[in-house]
Amino acid sequence: MALALTAEEQAIASGGRGEGAAAAMRIVAESARLLAAPRLIPIASAHIDGALYHGDSGTLFAERLVEGGAQVAVRSTLNVGALDLMGCSRVRLEEPQRGMARRMMEAYRKLGCEQSWTCTPYQAGHRPAFGSDVAWGESNAVVFCNSVLGARTNRYGDFLDIACAIAGRAPDYGLHRAENRRARLVFNVSALPPAFLASEIAWPVLGSLYGRETGTAIGVVAGIATHPGEDVLKAFGAAAASSGAVGLFHIAGVTPEAPDVETALGHVAPERTIKVTSQMIATAQRGLSTAAHAETIDAVAIGSPHLSLAEFERLERLIAGRKLAVPIHACTGRHVVSELDKTARRKALEACGVVVVADTCVVVTPILGKLPNGVLMTNSGKFAHYAPGNTGYAVLYGSLADCVESAVTGKPVFTDSAA
């Protein structure tokens, strides 16, 4: 079926709102044609991943849109950039890349995007309504938006995300369509010990295993007795979207489109059932570490996705005022930093040795510097997946409590383990 544009969309593509909007509409329309989408659909909002500097072409693209008079047509928040504009941490990005990254961030401000600079916009007040169509970029934000909020988006990449935001439209395909949101397989965790499922360490491991087992398929997790909380679902989704191309998951009795397994499956028999065992979990947990025999660590990195205020509160309780032997880099959004600064909590954490990183993340821009032994520790399944390739450092995975105790001693400390 050929793509059909409305009269309004044709007018925008022809320059009715200026050359910048015309370019954006043409990009969205051509993407829809390539995806065999029959039409474009209005979107309620966008979350933009394309403002992270990966080269000069991205900066020049954004500036060309600005020169063409483009403005976003819907609410548009921004994912992390390459610089910490809050000045919380030192970014080791040199010129001319540093200047180009700053120009890129400024161009997106001029396009009308909110200066959120976080990969967790859903914890910074950007929460689309259930069933609404949006165009979100960044893998963890996409999977949370689809799965936990029940809004509808595909994984919009650079720079289709900003084009959709300016056009106010997205291709009608994929996860925007109800028939494509039905689960096809069951990921059954009912055989795992309840104590493990209630532990913090479980969910990044489960997410990593889920992503590897399901790939692009949509599944429903069965065997979860109670709602584990948003931060837990955030960690699960981020790990699943990193190890597999997961854009949507269901958890029976927890996520909004899965009151039960049968409803999530659309009352159709599953194509496959994965019965998760303790051995599978132990293997998945070991797979998150690439420095299994390290005797010392150089740094800890947490907050991928960005830490919530509740996660900072837990970090404060675990540190309990102790001095750290190696730094903990805690990545978060400026909305959380503002709350911490109201009562000088950031200064207290920094006095212990915590490095608060705002607006960006240690996995996407050079912050860590040269590490003597090249060993990082993290509680993030997403960070564990990307850090070796993105930073060149080996990784140890553990719980947040493990990370804190290891930072205090400078040596790996493990108290939590797999099922």
416 belongs to a structural domain: no
pLDDT, one tens digit per residue, over 216-240 is: 999 999 999 999 999 999 999 999 9
Among the three residues 263, 286, 309, which one is the final residue of a domain in this structure? 286
Domain count, the chain: 3
Could you tell me the CATH number of the domain that includes residue 68?
3.30.499
322 belongs to a structural domain: yes
312 belongs to a structural domain: yes
Phi and psi (nearest 5°) for 78? -115, 135
Calculate mean pLDDT across residues 265-277.
Answer: 98
pLDDT, one tens digit per residue, over 48-83 is: 999 999 999 999 999 999 999 999 999 999 999 999
Tell me what pLDDT residue 124 has. 98
Interacting residues of 168 by C-beta distance below 8 A, sequence separation 6+: 42, 43, 73, 74
> Does residue 365 share a domain with residue 321?
yes
> Does residue 203 share a domain with residue 57?
no
338 belongs to a structural domain: yes
> How much of the chain, in percent, has pLDDT values that exceed 70?
99
> Does residue 386 share a domain with residue 303?
yes
Calculate mean pLDDT across residues 256-269.
Answer: 98
Among the three residues 177, 207, 226, which one is the final residue of a domain in this structure? 177
Tell me what pLDDT residue 415 has. 84
Domain extent, residue 146, equals 7-177
For residue 372, is pLDDT > 90?
no
> Does residue 374 share a domain with residue 258?
no
Could you tell me the CATH number of the domain that includes residue 354?
3.30.499.10
For residue 293, is pLDDT > 90?
no
Tell me what pLDDT residue 416 has. 65
Calculate mean pLDDT across residues 134-160.
Answer: 97
> Does residue 388 share a domain with residue 307?
yes
The secondary structure of 194-226 as a DSSP string is: HHHHTSTTHHHHHHHHHHHHHTTS-EEEE---S
pLDDT, one tens digit per residue, over 334-364 is: 999 999 999 999 999 999 999 999 999 999 9
> Does residue 297 share a domain with residue 280?
no
d(CA 171, CA 185): 26
Nearest to 232 by CA among 203, 269, 205, 198: 203
> Does residue 278 share a domain with residue 136?
no
Tell me what pLDDT residue 183 has. 98
